[in-house]
A and B are shown apart, each in its own frame.
Chain A
């Protein structure tokens, strides 16, 4: 791929990246929590304490800086009481994640990558990111499958 092509593509992304309205729900939390169902906007999530995480991923090159909320914080704030969280993505990808993962590791719901907000046109608006580089045990396909892109809901059970 030639450089001008790449530049054009990047520009195209910048120009066309859909802007989320402040009122849009980006994440739904349900199941064994304080309320029946809680909807979050991107601003709600940005309002939480933000954590930075630098790590490589299996689908990108080099180490990237991710920023977002600790999944642990979100679950604690809404009194999640269960063993697992069923994470679902925009395309209906679904996986069970043990809650112990969030206790053992600083797993974040990343809202931006390298300073650029994640978008539904890449892996956003939320990408579950594990501190892969800090824990060799996380460098395993069984954990890779828990890195849910385009996360839309978490169901505690």
Chain B
């Protein structure tokens, strides 16, 4: 049981396996770049401590000011004391904390401490003021000049070295960051590619499934269609065949007493039946070619007057007692289409009109142009079409609730043929009054 669960789960995890190392590279590089950049950011802050040269020069200046103060003719004691304090404060600053460590590095801390100690030996607040005292202070402070200058010199060199080393560090950090960002970018690309590939695979599988399902459905449809086809067509074939059969039987039974009149009558029945068979086989053949995509319209510029008239002439010969009215609008009435296919459509619509209206009612054909289409409208004065039947009129094998004859193929084929030629069939119907079926074809 456990095995089963494991094997079922493992593909789920396994499909993410290739992402893991890339993800690690991506996140790792980003984290590295981030850490390095933030370290750089912190280091780039300027600290006042780094301005050592300024502190040293301030000390130099204060020592110099003190020397000047004690050398003055009319000495101001409080001024000297203030200058003394300032000099001590600068030396104090140099001798403490970060400044002291800096000086220690360049070997000058002892110098500064010695100067401070020497100066404090001469503190005027302890030893008071006097010529000797002032002379000693002057000698000491004036002598400080070269020593502090030496410190300033070494501080400057150290500062430049540090600045150069810092810039070197920035540069190498920047290189590392650039490299890390590039690695992250490549990893991101790899992830995108992996995701895309995964998606494509899934999509491909989907398409395969869909195709399989579609094929299955098509196959089912085909099977269904053949069943319906066989049932209906065999019935439709049998009807005219049995008509022919019975006509021949009658003639046979009458034997010698067959009159010329009988022969003419039976002949009409037989020829009508043969006509029906021919049209049925035509329809079936056309449908078969259409379904197998073997039917190609042989496009030509058709004079619709001519097409309609020839169809009417043929129908009239089959139904000599029916009243067929043809009216054509003015103008060229040229359509683009296949002569035989258009003829077949009109013939079908005309046959239906004749079939579904009483013999004493006329069937009317009107040919006219509307917009970019040439129309052939066939109007009957039959019972009209039941509202429930209307949506299925062009469905294959559909036969109306009231009129159950026919194979249910004619209108479906007519519509398919119209569409094949860039046209269509529309209809309007008025229950109890009749219907109009209109074939629309593109103007030539």
Contacts and interface: CB of A to CB of B under 8 A. Distances in A.
B92 A18 contact: no
Nearest to A124: B89
Interface stretch (A1-9, A25-33, A40-48, A104-112): A1-9
Given A8-B117, A9-B117, A123 B97 contact: no
B373 interface: no
Interface of A is mostly: loop
A1 B117 contact: no
B97 A91 contact: no
B82 A121 contact: no
Interface string A36-60: 0000000000000000000000111
Contacts of A149: 89
Given A16-B126, A59-B97, A122-B92, A141 B85 contact: no
A65 to B, nearest CB: 16
A58 to B, nearest CB: 4
B63 interface: no
B332 interface: no
B410 interface: no
Contacts of A147: 48
Contacts of A150: 86, 89
B97 A121 contact: no
A12 B104 contact: no
Given A18-B125, A59-B48, A140-B45, A121 B96 contact: no
B293 to A, nearest CB: 76
B120 A59 contact: no
Given A58-B47, A141-B45, A121 B117 contact: no
B281 interface: no
Given A1-B110, A59-B49, A141-B45, A12 B120 contact: yes
Contacts of B82: 90, 120
A18 to B, nearest CB: 5
A61 B100 CA distance: 10
Contact of B96 (A59, A90, A120): A59
B58 interface: yes
A1 B97 contact: no
Interface in B108-146: 109-110, 113, 116-117, 120, 123, 125-126
Interface in B31-54: 45-49
A145 B85 contact: no
Contacts of B98: 58-61
Contact of B58 (A1, A12, A91, A144): A91
Interface residues of B, number: 31
Interface in B64-121: 81-82, 85-86, 88-89, 92-93, 95-100, 104, 109-110, 113, 116-117, 120
Nearest to B116: A9
A139 interface: yes
Given A9-B117, A60-B97, A145 B89 contact: no
B62 interface: yes
A18 B104 CA distance: 28
A120 B109 contact: no
B89 A58 contact: no
Contacts of A9: 95, 113, 116-117
Contacts of A144: 47-48
Contact of A18 (B62, B85, B93, B117): B85
A61 B97 contact: yes
Contacts of B88: 121
Contact of B113 (A5, A61, A90): A5
Contacts of A13: 92, 120
Contacts of B93: 59, 122-123
A140 B41 CA distance: 12
Nearest to A19: B125
A1 B89 contact: no
A140 B81 CA distance: 34
Contacts of A91: 58, 62, 86
A140 B407 CA distance: 95
B146 to A, nearest CB: 22
A5 B110 CA distance: 10
Given A61-B97, A139-B45, A141-B47, 19 more contacts: A1-B104, A1-B110, A9-B95, A12-B120, A13-B120, A16-B120, A16-B126, A18-B125, A58-B48, A59-B99, A60-B98, A120-B82, A120-B85, A120-B86, A121-B89, A121-B92, A122-B93, A123-B93, A141-B48
Interface of A: 1, 5, 8-9, 12-13, 15-16, 18, 58-61, 90-91, 119-123, 139-141, 144-145, 147, 149-150
The 6 nearest A-B residue pairs measured at CB: A120-B85, A58-B48, A61-B97, A141-B46, A121-B88, A60-B97
8 contacts: A1-B109, A13-B120, A61-B97, A90-B82, A120-B89, A121-B92, A147-B48, A149-B89
Interface of B: 45-49, 58, 62, 81-82, 85-86, 88-89, 92-93, 95-100, 104, 109-110, 113, 116-117, 120, 123, 125-126
